[in-house]
Amino acid sequence: MRSLAIPSALSLVLAFGAVGAGRGTGPRTHAVEIRGLAFAPAALDIAVGDTVVFTNHDLVPHTVTESDEAPDRARERFDSGSLSRGAETRFIADEPGEVTFFCAYHPSMTGVIRPR
Ligand SMILES: [Cu+2]
């Protein structure tokens, strides 16, 4: 009977992984890497409720700063503040639309998140 324990545990892991990877099964987490003075990917289509994790891989600090105040939104303008190397920030998409952002230190660094 002991030999059955390992396949059972493995199938549980596989089932959990399948649920997590499926579409329409709940909020997902997306990664945006900051590397070489750029956001990658620079454009990202996600679902409302999803989380985007930005991680700075550069030696120099960066920010993830929303481009406008968006007065029609309930939430405040998103601004990570300074992110040193290895630091990350999380953006949770609470409504559909288009969120454009840039780096306050390097304004040529831009990106967009499109929650649907
Ligand atoms: Cu920067």
Q: Is 64 helix (H, G, I), strand (E, B) or coil?
A: coil
70: domain range?
27-115
Residue 2 in any domain: the answer is: no
Q: Total structural domains in the chain?
A: 1
Amino acid 2: pLDDT: 46
Cα(40) to centroid(ligand 1), Å: 13
Residue 7 in any domain: the answer is: no
Cα(23) to centroid(ligand 1), Å: 32
Residue 14 in any domain: the answer is: no
Residue 12 in any domain: the answer is: no
Amino acid 50: pLDDT: 97
Low-confidence ranges of the chain (pLDDT < 70): 1-24, 69-73
Residue 1 in any domain: the answer is: no
Amino acid 16: pLDDT: 41
- Listed in order, strand segments (DSSP E) in 2-109 are 29-34, 39-40, 43-46, 51-56, 65-66, 88-92, 99-102
Amino acid 76: pLDDT: 83
- CATH code of the domain in which 109 resides: 2.60.40.420
Cα(49) to centroid(ligand 1), Å: 26
Amino acid 25: pLDDT: 78
**pTM of the entire structure?**
0.76
